[in-house]
Amino acid sequence: MQDRYHLSREENVFLARKRGVESIYSGMRMENRNVTFPQTQTIIDGVNVAGVELDDIQAILNLRDAWNYLLAHLDDPLTLAYLCQLQERVAYREALAWGKLRDGTIGISGVAYVPPVPVATTVARELSELLATPLSSTETSLNLFAWITRTQLFWDGNKRTALLAANKILIESGAGILLVSDRALLDFNTLLSDYYETGNPTGLKEFLYSSCILGMDIEKNQ
């Protein structure tokens, strides 16, 4: 699985900023939040929107802050502490706790798989091994996304945190961005549920690679 795009850091940061609202909207829809793209854009612009739940407004603003943090800290090493910093911003005032690993059992809606309670030393080791595996930046980012979503490291915001972490790898290496569009959402959810149950990420990764990695050539055509 090779990198689909080979951008400069400047080009990839430009792409990430230009697609920023779409990325935030993508993160919201991945969590089944009932918001539209225009509502998301308006809230990001600082205007209250009638009919949008306060929790959804908080989640949108949290994702905005998390994306700003990511872009301001692209050169920071991707460690467990970094993941906690991302999740702290994603789940601020939303989760049972934010900025630290969950310390209790949770379930995943619609699947029988129950992720074990994470242990910090094990998580740090698995993360280090994942990032050290000699693969393309794109495949590493997709492996990271899959790992975070299935291990459910945090009480809430795992898919959003996974999306951000995967994009950190892509952006810093000039490999594009990961964005799950509305038209890809059904297939994404189906494949993610299958991955939760089987532990085999191949189908999910192939779909994300073919349908959800964007680069400057797409941006220019638009």
pLDDT at 191 over 70: yes
Is the separation of the CB atoms in 219 and 18 below 8 Å? yes
Cβ atoms of 123 and 131 within 8 Å: the answer is no
**pLDDT value at residue 217:** 64
- What does the angle CA 66 – CA 59 – CA 151 come to, to the nearest 5 degrees? 70
Spatial CA neighbour of 55 closest among 70, 185, 63: 63
**222 pLDDT above the threshold of 80:** no
In sequence order, the 6+-apart residues with CB closer than 8 A to the CB of 141 are 165, 166, 167, 169, 170, 175, 178
**């900025």: which residue's tokens?**
99
**Residue with more model confidence, 142 or 221:** 142
Where in the chain are the domains? Answer: 9-221
- The predicted pLDDT at position 120 comes to 97
Query: What is the pLDDT confidence band of residue 51, given thresholds at 50, 70 and 90?
Result: confident
pLDDT tens digits, residue range 134-166? Answer: 999 999 999 999 999 999 999 999 999 999 999
When pLDDT is averaged across residues 64-76 and rounded to a whole number, the result is 96
Residue 52 corresponds to which tokens in the numbers above? 């949008």
Residues 53-77, mean pLDDT to the nearest whole number:
94
Q: Give the model's pLDDT for residue 76.
A: 97
Three-class secondary structure assignment of the chain:
CCCCCCCCHHHHHHHHHHCHHHHHHHHHHHCCCCCCHHHHHHHHCCCCCCCCCHHHHHHHHHHHHHHHHHHHCCCCCCCHHHHHHHHHHHCCCCCCCCCCCCCCCCCCCCCCCCCCCCCHHHHHHHHHHHHHCCCCHHHHHHHHHHHHHHHCCCCCCHHHHHHHHHHHHHHHHCCCEECCCHHHHHHHHHHHHHHHHHCCCHHHHHHHHHHCEECHHHHHHC
Share of the chain above pLDDT 70, in %: 97
Architecture of domain 9-221: Orthogonal Bundle (1.10)
pLDDT in tens, 102-122: 999 998 888 999 999 999 999
